[in-house]
Structure 1
Amino acid sequence: MNALYEKYKDDVEFLLVYIREAHPTDGRQVPVNEREGILLPTAKTLEQKEEHATQCVLKLDIKFTTLVDNLDNQVELNYTAFPDRLYLIGKDGRVAWKGRPGPRGFRPAELEAAIQKELAR
């Protein structure tokens, strides 16, 4: 995603919305998180969620703006975003492209094709 950001940052606003920890320690933990030391409980406060988002940004070296969903997870619910999903909002403010749910559906190359199509409009 950082490569797409660098390529299109003058024409497209990139945002990451941190919704919630996909594998919290008080939920379904996965071995890769244990190996990499990603051991975060479900956030109980907005401050905890913001700290989790900060750790995510640092771990993944995200170069663009990151926002944090509220504790009610309204962005996650409105965009069916769990565990992760790519969207392109068009010039008209409507969804121009919606990727499939991640991680298997997380396909930046498809997003890039949608960006090129939208910019050509």
Structure 2
Amino acid sequence: MGGERRLYDPKTIEERRGVAGMCDAALQYGIRTYVDEMDDAVMTSYAAWPERLYLIGVEGRVVYASGRGPQGFRPGELKEAIDLYLVRGIQP
């Protein structure tokens, strides 16, 4: 990743998982990463296009939703939401 931006559209679920794995390794944000299937059912359900970062609570509700990415990604806000939700047990 190293600062350069490339647009890559995976054609298989294996490619998609590979890209997600590279992002996970590069960002090192320490939370589990989930990857949508190739039909993009989760993206459609959460209106997540373009990319967004979501924190989903144990009850299945959205606890935090980022702005549209990548410009709208605020890792600090996501970390704060995770801390509030997990450590203090409250939603931001």
TM-score, normalising length: structure 1: 0.50
Match of 1:73 in 2: 40
Number of corresponding residues: 86
Match of 2:18 in 1: 51
2: CA distance, partners of 1:58 / 1:64: 11
Match of 1:9 in 2: none
Q: Secondary structure at the match of 2:33?
A: strand
Match of 1:18 in 2: none
Match of 2:50 in 1: 83
Match of 1:32 in 2: 4
Larger displacement relative to structure 2 (48-57 or 106-115): 106-115
Whichever residue aligns with residue 116 of structure 1, its letter is L
TM-score, normalising length: structure 2: 0.61
- Give runs of ≥4 in structure 1 deviating > 6 Å: none
Q: CA RMSD in A?
A: 3.2
Q: Describe the superposition over 1:26-73 as per-residue Cα deviations: whole angstroms up to 9, x where unpaired.
A: xxxxx932xxxx5x6421111111222222222223422222211111
Structure with more relative contact order (C-alpha pairs < 8 Å, separation 6 or more):
1
Structure 2, gaps ≥5 residues long: none
Q: Identity, % of aligned pairs? A: 40
Q: CA deviation at 1:85?
A: 1.9
**More strand per residue: 1 or 2?**
1
